[in-house]
Structure 1
């Protein structure tokens, strides 16, 4: 390493904390949303220090190289994804850090060619780390999608067992009894076969209902019509009041599908487990958000307790909502009913 490189590395090390402090000030001046989150801002500072160390290592190859495998980019990607922050925020922060470091390099370095070489090296380091963070960001979201799909398969499995198992099992036992009595009593055999037919008819009806529920998505139809059709198919024993305010044209089709699935799951849970006398669905649509609530006057539950088998659908609902940058809030108390409230941001464009 020649004397110019040695001076540059020495200067960068001397100005480490000044660069990091200036980077944080620049983020505030640019109103980058990361400064509002103490955890995100701390990660930005740590990442800036790590990038400076890697840059110095590249300029001075004697020490052990440091790379993006230090784990910070992966942590940043997962944190941004879990807090539903756009990757564009991190891109802007990376550009700010690049400019901040290069301003200090310009103060230390008098050779334009050396400054260009530093800029090329720094650009490569930043791009590698941004790429690693993006991979972590995407992996986190894909894992959430996978978990939501797995939970949905478990739910379908429970539905098949609970709703079809009894009727099909009963039909099987009755058919065996009918075969046993067939030689001796035609009257008893006929009665058993009638019971078999009734059980199988119920099972076929359940299959049709479940098939409808799996296929019954919005598909551009009015949300109130789809919800009414859905509640009819769920065969609830309590009345359901559906109210919709605002213009549905603000809801993109892909958001409408997911919103419907969340509402349907909340209504199904209320109908099965709440012992409610009434269920109310309310959807309010504005150009910037859709807010849906499902309220019942049933037995309620203690939200501080661990989820039970009846409440496992809540996690799947939360995953669906979070993928679209929304939120889901469940409020309930024993003997005081339950309220599920969903907020989903909208792009502000008519479909």
Structure 2
């Protein structure tokens, strides 16, 4: 039998080895559990990203369908109705014997055709970003706002032209958002005044629009979707921007979009 000192040293040695083995085993288990947890989190994030991308794709498809429906409605209600009226006047000319009546019908047909040309140009402007290439982003937006002012609405407008900080693609998306918001104001808000403010603040471009219309309840998903908010949110996501909506029945609507640049 060894000396007590040797026995005690051996016990301490084997005890230390045992503790080290347990620590090593604990570390291995911890690493395995951590990797498993990390893998689960990555898989969960990937699934969430797939769901998010699917929602964005569905919203884009829905917005495209809504755009097609709007174009078809514009062509039917405005262009189609006007051309039908012109056809009636032209057909009526052959039955008229009075030169004055013929001139009157021809003049009315020409006036309607002039309105049709304006309607077609308006539809083309809504379809194509050529208006941005022609007049610049600020000029294109001012044209849209001027049309609202011509209809009797009071417009307060300030625009920092974002041409130097946004790509043409981003400008087109932002222009579509503005078109959608203004379309909502015209169709739903019943407003007499709108404030439009687009300013650059450091590394952000901030768009703020407010109207004094009837407003709505943002908590109502169906109502919000009906007013085009789903399309606006989708396009805001494409810009990597944040959207704040503030509205209430009878209190108008305020929209703020903050775009990183």
Q: TM-score, normalised by structure 1?
A: 0.54
Q: Name which of 134, 148, 155 aligns with 1:240.
A: 155
Superposed displacement of residue 281, structure 1: 0.7
CA pair 158-331 structure 1, distance change in 2 beyond 3 A: farther
Whether 1:282 aligns to 2:197 is: yes
The superposition leaves residues 102-133 of structure 1 with CA deviations (integer Å, 9 ceiling, x where unpaired) of xxxxxxxxxxxxxxxxxxxxxxxxxxxxxxxx
Contact 1:250 1:287 in 2 (8 A): no
CA pair 155-308 structure 1, distance change in 2 beyond 3 A: farther
Superposed displacement of residue 151, structure 1: 2.8
Superposed displacement of residue 322, structure 1: 1.1
1:24-39 paired onto structure 2 within 5 Å: none
The superposition leaves residues 288-343 of structure 1 with CA deviations (integer Å, 9 ceiling, x where unpaired) of 322212211122233344238972x3322222111222233333223222222222
CA pair 260-22 structure 1, distance change in 2 beyond 3 A: same
The superposition leaves residues 173-192 of structure 1 with CA deviations (integer Å, 9 ceiling, x where unpaired) of 3334444x425x55444433
Contact 1:152 1:316 in 2 (8 A): no
Distance in 2 between residues matched to 1:148 and 1:241, nearest whole Å: 29
Where 1:307 maps in the other structure, the secondary structure is: helix
Q: Name which of 110, 116, 121 aligns with 1:197.
A: 110
Superposed displacement of residue 199, structure 1: 1.7
Whether 1:302 aligns to 2:217 is: yes
Q: Which has the greater radius of gyration? A: 2
Superposed displacement of residue 283, structure 1: 1.0
In structure 2, the gaps of 5 or more residues are: 1-24
CA pair 19-163 structure 1, distance change in 2 beyond 3 A: farther
> What does residue 70 of structure 2 align with?
155
Distance in 2 between residues matched to 1:252 and 1:176, nearest whole Å: 51
Whether 1:225 aligns to 2:222 is: no
> What does residue 19 of structure 1 align with?
32
| Greater strand fraction, Structure 1 or Structure 2 | 2
Report the RMSD for the aligned CA atoms in angstroms.
Answer: 3.6
Superposed displacement of residue 258, structure 1: 1.3
Distance in 2 between residues matched to 1:155 and 1:267, nearest whole Å: 15
Contact 2:129 2:172 in 1 (8 A): no
Where 2:132 maps in the other structure, the secondary structure is: coil
Contact 1:321 1:328 in 2 (8 A): yes
Superposed displacement of residue 142, structure 1: 4.7
Superposed displacement of residue 200, structure 1: 1.8
Distance in 2 between residues matched to 1:315 and 1:221, nearest whole Å: 29
